[in-house]
Structure 1
Amino acid sequence: MESEQGMKFGRYELLSRLGRGGMAETWRARLVGAAGVTKPVVIKKVLSEFANDKEFISMFISEARISATLSHGNVAQVFDFGRVDGEYFIAMEFVDGQPLHRILKRAQRSELPCLPTPIATYIALEMCRGLRYAHTRNDEKGAPLGIVHRDISPDNVLISYEGDVKIVDFGIAKARSLRSFDTAPGVVKGKYLFFSPEQARGEEVDARTDVWATGVVLFNMLCGRLPLEGQEHVVIQQLRGGSPMPRPRDVRPDLPARLSAILQKALAVKKEERFESANELENALAGFLYTAAPRFSSMSVAHLLRELFRTELTAEGRDAKVPASFLEELSVWRASPILRPTEPARLVPMTGELQTQESPTDEHPPGPPRAPVTQERRVPEAGSITDGLGVSHVLAAAGIVAVLVGGWVAFDRIGADWRMPERNTPPSGP
């Protein structure tokens, strides 16, 4: 991080440079108000050498125009837009945490090649909430804005140290009634490894393109790799031709069949076979998570970040304490031999059919939680990152007794510090 303490930029004070891309850079900054009142923000400003690039400036203005209409807990808010000494800038919410791509890299270096299943599911669920809000926004006259992000990837998902999940960077988002220009036919925008097939072909996109990209991100979190990898021209050609995709359980055999089926539907090559909306995917993920790990909450995400970035937090003099119960669960997860993803044994076309026959005990299609089967069993006193989520082999090896009930595994983790979900029922609308 490059430091430029005290550099004035209009009403703002630039504190340190967070990053620099090909055409813009971001700064940690603060708004300086009257009587010494300050507010932490992030400043994104166009590099001076591109100040006269009309196409890029139009895209930058479009980002500001679209983002300024959004106010939701799962979308990083834009506060201000303007020019200082000829440089365009956007002032946005400062998220005290880390981008998802950095979390995934740090996790792999920490012998955690795949994120714990409930944590990955929760992050994708929160992403869907933010996307659902953006997709369903209307203008002041009640007409749909038609917003599609088009660039969902781990780079554009921020996770706070408190466990909040926020989507950022609507720089190439499509909004029918807010953009001053349209993407030319056949022109694709975004990160090619997260392209949907229709996006790779340069076709019209809608909310299902963001559903696909969210599925790719979830696949990455759960499997430690992307569904398609390789050089750009190879991946684009595969997407355009509707090439087979790896089934999640071929890459990660321990995944619950229900979650694998949800992921398979999100990544259906034909968009007509995908979830119709981010809200549909959200409800499917919520149904799985609240059934498999009913006591899971965002605090587990916060604990994971504090553990992964303990060195950075400690260097800043901040609290990086993590409950011992979480560390115990994490050590079990790290020890799992089945968390080392392998190359898929077979490739099949990804369709929207919810195929869960691989696990005869998992008979329920994705959807709202079903009433639990009435059988005698040991129920965990608190939730766990391993509750019912495909790590029975690991816990058995660790000497923990597992009881199979209706295809789900419940573990007696007495005293674990997990809380009930903050939302007991998934929302059905914005």
Structure 2
Amino acid sequence: MATSRQPWNVPGVILFSHGDLSYEVDLSHPLVEELAQSRLGERTVPAFERTEKKRLREVIVRSLPPTSSDEPETLARMRARLREEAHLATYLQYPRIARILGPYEVHGVLYIVSDRVEGTSLNTLLTYSQMRGKFLSPAFCLYVGAEVAGALHNAHTCKGENGAPLGIVHRDLNPARIFLEPEGGVILTDFARARSLLPGRVATTLPRPQGDVFYCSPEALLCEETDPRSDLFSLGLVLLELATWRHLYSMAHLRPSDLEKTLTKKAKAQVLDAAITAMEAELPGHAEDCILRAATFTRQDVDEITEPLAHPLRSIIRKLIQRNPEDRYPSAADVEADLRAGLAALGTPYGPKEALDEVLISLTGASMNRGVLGPTTDSPLLADMVADEDILTERGGTP
């Protein structure tokens, strides 16, 4: 028997109960007061999974109301999208991928419960290293990259009940989606924007980049077909930034007018179409710059931006961020193998303990340089809610 209560009115409120378990809002979490309800009633909150006598663990709970007087069809599609995300997550049973539990529907309210990942995102670790004024080590980058590549390989090779490949592509791999746990393990989070071949999967309203445009592959930005090699490009951008603080799409030293002159007539039309799509999808203002850069960067640009890196990290990242997917690694398993071989070649063991030690040193240095930092509020809690442009519109398609 499942029960539900209205949230947000009294301390220690129980969102809903299912069997012997209840889900209680974590009112002590610093983000609770900052989280607003979306216009269609979607909420994302930190919570505790608990029994009647004690709290068991921390989780994240997302919810959608049963109806909307203003946009009932839009809300229904959002609920379908959230259900599909939960369904897809049942196949992603891997230690380095954050889990989704559920869905639960109680009195018409749809709840999705997921792990609340403890630790610090790579996004915050980048900030720490910049404040400290020192790059994270090649060993750290090789270790993190290998762990993420392993998680991607698991996702990319998932199969359904009938043994058919599910064709999962994350599509939103960026530093905010990758966490270093308190024990030094690496966790990949948030497959909310993933593409898959699940039966009944539906197409998005626009052929548009699905994740943070600053980490999208060229084919995603130019509204072309994406596949697992698109995730590998994104991983390459993450590792490049982690190791050098630089980004292939940064155009601070480039004039857009000069880049446009290098485009063929066909490429110019493609860039224009992609820019229009980005505008219609209300993507961030820098999306147009990323699209132009994705269409114009050369192999020489890749070689130049990776030149400061030491071997083997340099050669691995170079192969990951080639514009043509055929020039990249064929699979995440191949990436993981090269990263682990590179790590072993360093001659000194490097794993979770060493990664955590390095991060603590980086945090200490950052604190000394810029004043004491407070505790991080990193959390997948801030992952994007289901947006209108993510809504699926056709049965049998692939987003």
* DSSP-derived class of the 1:301 partner: helix
Find the counterpart in structure 2 of residue 228 from structure 1.
249
Find the counterpart in structure 2 of residue 12 from structure 1.
23
Task: Give ranges in structure 2 of 5+ residues lacking alignment.
Answer: 1-7, 17-21, 252-285, 376-399
Find the counterpart in structure 1 of residue 54 from structure 2.
36
Change (3 A) 1:29 1:232: same
* Distance in 2 of aligned mates of 1:244 and 1:179: 39
Change (3 A) 1:64 1:250: same
Q: Is 1:295 matched with 2:301? A: no
Find the counterpart in structure 1 of residue 221 from structure 2.
200
Deviation at 1:156, TM superposition (A): 1.0
Find the counterpart in structure 2 of residue 175 from structure 1.
196
The percentage of aligned residue pairs carrying the same residue is 23
Deviation at 1:171, TM superposition (A): 0.8
Deviation at 1:256, TM superposition (A): 1.4
Deviation at 1:42, TM superposition (A): 2.2
Deviation at 1:167, TM superposition (A): 0.9
* Distance in 2 of aligned mates of 1:44 and 1:169: 13
CA deviation profile, 1:220-248 (whole Å, cap 9, x unmatched): 10111221125210211222x24226756
2:14 aligned partner, one-letter code:
K
> Cα RMSD between the aligned structures?
3.1
Q: Is 1:99 matched with 2:110? A: no
* Distance in 1 of aligned mates of 2:219 and 2:97: 25
* Distance in 2 of aligned mates of 1:21 and 1:131: 32
Deviation at 1:314, TM superposition (A): 11
Find the counterpart in structure 1 of residue 263 from structure 2.
none
Q: Is 1:67 matched with 2:67? A: no
1:62 aligned partner, one-letter code:
E
TM-score normalised by the chain length of structure 2: 0.70
Deviation at 1:79, TM superposition (A): 2.0
TM-score normalised by the chain length of structure 1: 0.65
1:272 aligned partner, one-letter code:
E
Find the counterpart in structure 2 of residue 348 from structure 1.
none
8 Å contact 1:65–1:178 — kept in the other structure? no
CA deviation profile, 1:161-214 (whole Å, cap 9, x unmatched): 111111111111011125530235733311111111111121221110111111
* DSSP-derived class of the 1:208 partner: helix
* Distance in 2 of aligned mates of 1:21 and 1:146: 34
* DSSP-derived class of the 1:205 partner: coil
8 Å contact 1:13–1:30 — kept in the other structure? yes
8 Å contact 1:128–1:282 — kept in the other structure? yes
Find the counterpart in structure 1 of residue 315 from structure 2.
261
2:209 aligned partner, one-letter code:
V
User: Could you tell me which of 216, 232, 244 is aligned with 2:298?
Assistant: 244
* Distance in 1 of aligned mates of 2:64 and 2:144: 30
Change (3 A) 1:199 1:315: closer
Q: Is 1:131 matched with 2:152? A: yes
* Distance in 2 of aligned mates of 1:211 and 1:249: 17
Change (3 A) 1:187 1:99: same
* Distance in 2 of aligned mates of 1:6 and 1:246: 58
Which is further off, 156-165 or 222-231?
222-231
